[in-house]
Amino acid sequence: MSDMQINQVLAQMRALAQSAGLEGAAPTEAGRPDFANLLKQSLDQVSETQSAASDLRKAFETGDPNVSLVEVMVASQKSSVSFEAVNQVRNRLLSAYQQVMRMQV
């Protein structure tokens, strides 16, 4: 990867972090966000999304008149998309780790 491509990827990651509201997340001594904290926050958000979808589904199944099928389906899809995104991040991290481990020193 060239320096220009790396800078583009970093710029995209910063833009995504700002749009997700993670720009002020636990800076380290160098003034950069801590990757472990960002990852934990992302996983917590996915967990909350899944819990909310599950709660809505249970409320709909029990006949709560304040919960519509549309709300349940939208929450379920949000949960599914967020889980798939986390799964893709995990796959990319694992692939990067494997590439680093294959490098000869």
11: pLDDT confidence band, cut at 50, 70 and 90? confident
Residue spans per domain, the chain: 1-33, 35-105
pLDDT band (50, 70, 90) for residue 50: very high
What length is written for the chain?
A: 105
Claim: this prediction has a pTM higher than 0.85:
no
Paired tokens of 75? 């929450």
Are the C-beta atoms of residues 45 and 64 closer than 8 Å to each other?
no
Question: What's the rounded Cα separation, in Å, for the pair 102 and 36?
Answer: 24
In tens, the pLDDT along 60-101 reads 999 999 999 999 999 999 999 999 999 999 999 999 999 999
Q: Are 38 and 23 in contact (CB under 8 A)?
A: no
